[in-house]
Structure 1
Amino acid sequence: MSNIPHELIFDILSRLKPKDLIRYMCVSKAWYALIHNQDFIKAHGERSIKTNSTRTILLQVATCPLDFISLPFDNDEMLGTATKVGRPMITKYHLTNTVGYANGLVAICNYTDKYIALWNPSIQKLKKIPFTTHEPHAHPPSPDFRMIHNYGFGYDSTNDDYKLVAIVHFGDGEDVTLSFQVSVYSLKANSWKTIQNMPCGGFSLYSDYLMFSNGALSWLMSKLDGEDQYKILTLDLASEKYREFPIPDPVDGGDIEDYTPDLGVLGDYLCICLTLYDYRRDVWIMKGNGVTESWSLLCSIYLLGKPLLFSENGEMVLLMMERKGYNRLYWYHLEKKNFKKACRLRRRPLTATICRESLCLLLDDDPIKSSKKRKFSNE
C-alpha cells in the first residue's frame, strides 16, 4: 500500500462509516495516525453532511439502565431496522435526559450523579463533564432555597469548539424566581466559565429544553405575572451574546392563551409548534433574522405529532405520533396534506434525536497509550 498516494487513501477512507474506520486503525501505524488526524475527522464529517448519508433517528427509551435505539434511514420513505446502540451510563433511577446534539455527539444529563455525558454512539466514545457550580455568595441558604439546572449543547463553528450551556435557576419554595446564573463549558478548554446573565425583563424559563440551531441555543421564556406571553431567547455560542424575538401569532387570529407552545428544530430551522386545545398543531419555522415576519407557517395538523425531519426533497415531514398505545412514525405530505405510515415503534421513546455518524471524541484517545494496546501490521 506504500505505492498508493496519501491523498487517494485520505479520500477513500473519508467515505467509510466510523465503525469501519475504527477497525481499520489496526491496519498500520500510518492509518491509525491518519484516522486520528483532526483534518481527517473534519473532512469525514463534512462529507457526511454534504452527501446526507449515515443519518439515524436516535431514540431514548424508558428502561433502567438507560437504552438507546438507532433507526437508520436512507431515502424519503423507507426506514431501516431498529437496533440497540448501547448503554452510555448505568444509573439506578430514570434521572437522565438527552439535552442536545451536534455533529454526532449526544449530550446526556445524569441528574443522579450530577454530570453530563458527551457520547458518540457510532464509535462508543464517552466523556463525562461534571455539573457547573454556582457562586457560593449568590444566595444565602434557607430551608426553601432550591436550584434547578437546565442544560443545552451545540457546536461553535467560529472557534471549532463544542459547548455546553448551563442555566442555573435559583428559587424559593413557592416557585418564585430569585435569579439565574448562566455558564458555558468549552470542550476545547475543558472548563466552565460564568458569562453575562440573560436579559429576563419579567420573564422566566418556560421549558427545560435548550434547542441548538445555526450556531446558537434557543429557549422559550414566559411572563412571570401570570399573563400568557412568550418570547424566545437565543445565545450565540461564538459571541456569547443574547438576542430575543417573539413567537408567531396564532393562525386564526385567536388568543395565544388558548395555545401551548413547544420549541424545537426541524432541518436547519428553529421550529415552534402551537397546539390548540390538544386537537390542532400549527408548525412554524424561522426562516429569517428573528423578527415576527420571519416566521413561516409550515402546516396545520389535526393529529398531534412531533415533527422530526424533512424528507430529502423537502416535500414531506416525518412525524412521531402516539396512536392506540404505540408511538408511530408517519410521513406527512405538505402539499397533498395526507399521511403515510413509516413504522411502528415497539417501545415508547422519551426523546428522538436526528443524528449523523461521526468520529467526534476520537481525539480523546491517548495515541501513545492506545498504540501500545494495538497490534499493527507491517507498513
Structure 2
Amino acid sequence: MEEKPENEEEKGAIHNIPWAFLGDILSRLDAKSLKRCECVSKSWLSLIRNWDFIHLHLKRQLPCVVFLQKKVRRFNYTLSTCNWENFAEISSQKFPKFKRRRPPLLLFMGSDNGILGLYDLRNKKVYLWNPTIKVSKTLSFSPHSELNHSVLGLGYDPFTTDFKVVMVSCPVEKGVIGTHNLFKAGNQVGIYSLRSNSWKTMAMPDIFSDFEPYTSDIIIYTSLSCSIVVNEAIHWKICYRNSLYHDQLSLGIVAFGLRMENFKLIKSPQIVEGSHVKKLANFSGCLSFFTFDEVQVVEVWVMKKYGDSESWFKYLSVNLLSLLPNWVGRHPICTPVSFLSNGILVISCIETGYWCWYDTKSKRLENMCRRFGVSDFTTYVESIFLSEKGENFVACD
C-alpha cells in the first residue's frame, strides 16, 4: 500500500500493528466485516477506501453464484447467494424497493467486481447493486433510447477504476422478435461512466466488414442473456446469417474493450450451429460457451488464446439423458443454465424444479436443491465497491 494514514508515525503503526501488516489482515475479511471496520478510526477508513486495498480485498474473496427468484403474486424479487462449490445458501435478500410505474420485469445484464447490473424491461431502468454491503444506484436509460430495442452490458475498467454500462440500441422495426440488427454499423451506443455519472454516445462501427459486399444483408439475432466479462472486455452472444443463405446460422461474439471502448467480432468454430449455443461463460479466465442440441447433448468450447478464433477447442461433450439419475424424473425436461469458471456445469430440470450441478473435472454429479420461480442466474464475488454512498447511491434495507 503506497498511501499511508494521516497523522501516523513513520513506521505506520496502528495499535502497534505495522501498517502493511494491518492491510494484509483486513484484506482477508469478508465484505460485511470490512464495512464494520471502517468505523474503527479515520485511518482505518482511509486504508479501506484506498483503491489498491479494494483490489487486493477483491482478489482474496471466494466467488459465488446468485439466483434471481420472482414471486409472481407480490411482484418482488429475491436474490439468493450460494457457494459455488457446494451451492449451500450464504444469504437471501429482497431486491431494493424503488419507485416504479409498473411491477418490474428484471434480468441480469452483467456482473463484475462485486457489482450486479440489472435492467427492468417494463420501466426502462438500469440498477447497479452491491448486495453484500446493500448499496444500489438507479440509472435511467441513455438519452433517446427509451423507445428502442436495446441490449446492455456491465464491466469494470481497472485502468480508470471505473464501472461502465454499455447499451447498444436500434429503432423498433416491424418484423420477427429478436431479429433487430442491434450491432449494425451506425446504430447508437450509449456508454455510462459511474465515475462521471453521465452517458456519452458513439456510433456502432462496422464489425461485419469481412462480409462485404453483403454486409447490409446480414441478419442478426440477439439474445437478452447476461453479458460476460473476460480479458477486460464485455461480451455478448449473437447469431447471424447472410440473407442469401437462410440455412447457415453462425455464432458470433461481440466484444467491447473497456479501456479503449472499441468493438470487435469474435468468430466461433465453423462446425458449431449458432442456434444450439445457450450462453457465454468465463472458464478459468478464458472465453467459452456451451451448446445444447435436440438430443440433449451439451458441448463446452473454450478459447485457449483470447482473440484467436483458431484456438477454440472442445473441452467437454456429455449427454444429459445418460448423466442425470432417476430422481429428476423419468423423462425430464432439463437444460444447462451456466458453465462456471471452476468447471461446474449447472443444470435445471424445469418440470420437477430440481437443480443439480456436474463437476466436469471430477465427473461428479450432485443434487443442488429444488428452486421455483428462478428468472435469472449469474456468478458473483463479494466486494466493497460502491461503498461510498454519494452520487445518488442509496442504502438498501
What TM-score comes out, normalization by structure 1 length? Answer: 0.80
The verdict on how the C-alpha distance between 1:263 and 1:290 changes in structure 2, with shifts beyond 3 A counting, is farther
Q: CA deviation at 1:172?
A: 1.8
**CA deviation string 1:240-287 (max 9, x = no partner):** 222223222337xxxx37x52223113322222232225222211122
Number of the residue aligned with 1:142: none
**Of 5, 28, 38, the match for 1:25:** 38
1:296 and 2:316 aligned: no
Q: CA deviation at 1:177?
A: 4.7
Number of the residue aligned with 1:344: 369
CA contact (8 A) 1:310 1:318 kept: no
Number of the residue aligned with 2:200: 193
Give the letter for the 2:44 counterpart: W
Number of the residue aligned with 1:233: 254
1:162 and 2:182 aligned: no
Give the letter for the 2:137 counterpart: K
CA distance in 2 between partners of 1:21 and 1:215 (Å): 26
Flag structure 2 segments of 5+ consecutive residues without an equivalent: 1-13, 209-214, 321-334
**Of 276, 284, 294, the match for 1:260:** 276
What TM-score comes out, normalization by structure 2 length? Answer: 0.77
Number of the residue aligned with 2:64: 56
CA distance in 1 between partners of 2:234 and 2:29 (Å): 31
Number of the residue aligned with 2:27: 14
Number of the residue aligned with 1:307: 338
Out of 90-99 and 9-18, give the one that drifted further: 90-99
1:67 and 2:90 aligned: no
**Of 292, 300, 325, the match for 1:275:** 292
**CA deviation string 1:37-61 (max 9, x = no partner):** 333222212333xxxx2x2211101
CA distance in 1 between partners of 2:154 and 2:221 (Å): 17
Q: CA deviation at 1:205?
A: 4.0
Number of the residue aligned with 2:325: none
Alignment coverage as a number of residue pairs: 339
- SS at 1:305 equivalent: strand
Number of the residue aligned with 2:49: 36
The verdict on how the C-alpha distance between 1:29 and 1:159 changes in structure 2, with shifts beyond 3 A counting, is closer
Identity rate of aligned residues, in percent? Answer: 24
1:333 and 2:364 aligned: no
CA distance in 1 between partners of 2:390 and 2:21 (Å): 25
Q: CA deviation at 1:207?
A: 1.3
Give the letter for the 1:222 counterpart: Y
1:3 and 2:16 aligned: yes
The verdict on how the C-alpha distance between 1:365 and 1:2 changes in structure 2, with shifts beyond 3 A counting, is farther
CA distance in 2 between partners of 1:273 and 1:194 (Å): 32
CA contact (8 A) 1:320 1:328 kept: yes
**Of 218, 228, 244, the match for 2:265:** 244
Q: CA deviation at 1:16?
A: 0.7
Give the letter for the 1:69 counterpart: S
Out of 120-129 and 89-98, give the one that drifted further: 89-98
CA contact (8 A) 2:173 2:180 kept: yes
- SS at 1:363 equivalent: coil
CA distance in 2 between partners of 1:25 and 1:171 (Å): 48
Give the letter for the 2:80 counterpart: I
- SS at 2:338 equivalent: strand
CA contact (8 A) 1:247 1:292 kept: yes
CA distance in 1 between partners of 2:39 and 2:338 (Å): 41
Q: CA deviation at 1:23?
A: 1.8
CA contact (8 A) 1:309 1:317 kept: yes
Give the letter for the 2:110 counterpart: G
The verdict on how the C-alpha distance between 1:71 and 1:362 changes in structure 2, with shifts beyond 3 A counting, is same
CA distance in 2 between partners of 1:327 and 1:214 (Å): 34
Q: CA deviation at 1:95?
A: 1.3
Number of the residue aligned with 2:118: 108
CA distance in 2 between partners of 1:14 and 1:270 (Å): 28
CA distance in 2 between partners of 1:171 and 1:206 (Å): 14
- SS at 2:305 equivalent: coil
Out of 341-350 and 354-363, give the one that drifted further: 341-350
1:98 and 2:108 aligned: yes
- SS at 1:22 equivalent: helix
Number of the residue aligned with 2:385: 360
The verdict on how the C-alpha distance between 1:47 and 1:347 changes in structure 2, with shifts beyond 3 A counting, is same
Flag structure 1 segments of 5+ consecutive residues without an equivalent: 137-145, 371-379
- SS at 1:118 equivalent: strand
CA distance in 2 between partners of 1:34 and 1:301 (Å): 48
- SS at 1:16 equivalent: coil
